[in-house]
Amino acid sequence: MRLLVLGGTLFLGRHVARAALDRGHEVATFTRGITGSPPDGVRALHGDRDDAAALPAALEGWAPELVVDTSCQTRAAARHAAAALAGVRGYAFVSSLNAYRNWPPGPLGPEDGEPTWTTDDDEYGPVKAYAERELAAALRGRFLTARAGLIVGPHDPVHRLGWWLERIARGGRVVVPAEGLDQPIAAVDARDLAGWLVAMAERGESGAVNATGPVGMTTLGGLLAICRRVTGGDAEWAPTPEADLLAAGVEPWVHLPLWLPAGMARTAWDVDTARARALGLPGRPLEETVADTWAWLRTGERKPPPHGLPEPGLPPELEARLLAAG
């Protein structure tokens, strides 16, 4: 079938385009043409989603039957897609757990029982929630929204797992959150999510799905141990109590990526993913995800984080101070 990826040249969307080709579809991407090119074999359509005329103009002569939407970040982008693509057979949309009003901190039960944002500000979560409503109303029963948690894997520009890999590969004493090592963590490999999104669009599945790894799939300490095995470095953990990290000005999630203070971690990683499992969202071994991400990072192809997100990581002077104190 003709499958349109809204997005498709950076991370998740790139894997969606690849998966759709592998599943035998005729694939086009729609982007501004700033970030890069889609995989070979994909028709590259260009335009700005925020411009109402751009999508209809780009689709002149090429009417998609399926859509996977990885690039929606504004209310206008959602409205324009709803207007131009209401007739497709299946539309899989990439939203976020941030669409929920109570996450973070969570916990999150089954999708239907959890309220989403209804405010009209332009924060990330409310925009995703609005986009879901606009598109669901236009697509009626052919719209699935994947509320993604942490997405990892090759081509990840956000660089949270990537920063840990690079830091651990450099070796020596590495500041790690003492209590945080036991905190649960869950992630989905972008390639698993991508193939599943294509399958969901093909099947015309609908409704909301918490699209992340199962609760308890690993801990932060477990993930960092895999990073050390995969990079083969001689890194030695320097466990630092949460109180010392916070007192020194370490920003959770940003300076030590994937780390949340204990009070938040207890609930934020507690997300019901029963529907994702029932709909067959796969989860390859984390070791494979980490190894493939490390192999890709060493190609030096990583782009800066998108949407103005900060470069993650512990500033060197802060790390030196913490190591000296510890």
Binding interface with ligand NAP (CB under 6 A):
7-14, 31-35, 48-50, 70-71, 94, 96, 148, 150-151, 158, 306
Query: CB of residue 148 vs ligand NAP: minimum separation in angstroms?
Result: 4
Nearer to ligand NAP, 125 or 261 (CB): 125
Nearer to ligand NAP, 157 or 171 (CB): 157
Could you give the CA distance from residue 246 to residue 203 in angstroms, rounded to a whole number?
47
Please give the full DSSP string across 79-135, using - where no structure is assigned: HHHHHHHTT-SEEEEEEEGGGBTTTTT--B--GGGS-B----S--HHHHHHHHHHHH
Residue type, 59: L
Query: CB of residue 316 vs ligand NAP: minimum separation in angstroms?
Result: 25
Three-class DSSP category at 203: helix
Please give the full DSSP string across 247-270, using - where no structure is assigned: HTTPPBTTTBTT---HHHHHHHT-
Query: CB of residue 32 vs ligand NAP: minimum separation in angstroms?
Result: 3
Nearer to ligand NAP, 7 or 154 (CB): 7
Could you give the CA distance from residue 313 to residue 53 in angstroms, rounded to a whole number?
40
Query: CB of residue 157 vs ligand NAP: minimum separation in angstroms?
Result: 7
Nearer to ligand NAP, 8 or 177 (CB): 8
- Evaluate whether 4 touches 69 at the Cβ level (below 8 Å): no
Query: CB of residue 280 vs ligand NAP: minimum separation in angstroms?
Result: 19
Query: CB of residue 321 vs ligand NAP: minimum separation in angstroms?
Result: 29
Nearer to ligand NAP, 213 or 240 (CB): 213
Could you give the CA distance from residue 70 to residue 136 in angstroms, rounded to a whole number?
16
Nearer to ligand NAP, 31 or 183 (CB): 31
5: which strand partners? 29, 68
